[in-house]
Amino acid sequence: KAGVTQTPRYLIKTRGQQVTLSCSPISGHRSVSWYQQTPGQGLQFLFEYFSETQRNKGNFPGRFSGRQFSNSRSEMNVSTLELGDSALYLCASSLEVNEKLFFGSGTQLSVL
């Protein structure tokens, strides 16, 4: 069974641009959550989707948004990028909510 797939693996953008990251969960998993990982802040929860509905949201500005499609694939979008958005963005899927998470390798975003 294929694991959680995140694309692209690396991304370089400039301030003010917008970016879309993609996550394909493990087949059959309906819950997808997103995390931002930085050396200073550790893992910060962004949001979680279950069956195309956002179930939980972290404390991030409205520039960060996401969605989930009917096949459980998920995208997150960051608009008007800032230097501080440089981070590793991790996606995780689980079979149901509140179950163990399976993580992708992440997308390393650098904002110049």
Residues in the site for another protein, rule: CB under 8 A?
4, 33, 35, 41-43, 45, 48, 50, 55-56, 58, 90, 92, 97-98, 100-106
- Residue 17: how many other CB atoms lie within 10 Å: 13
Closest approach of another protein to the CB of residue 14, in Å? 25
- Nearest distance from C-beta of residue 19 to another protein, angstroms: 19
Nearer to another protein, 81 or 90 (CB): 90
- The residue (of 45 and 79) whose beta carbon lies closer to another protein is 45
Contacts of 94 (CB under 8 A, 6+ apart): 29, 31, 33, 100, 101, 102
Least Å distance, CB 103 to another protein, is: 3
Tell me which DSSP letter residue 83 carries: G
- 63 is written with which tokens? 């520039």
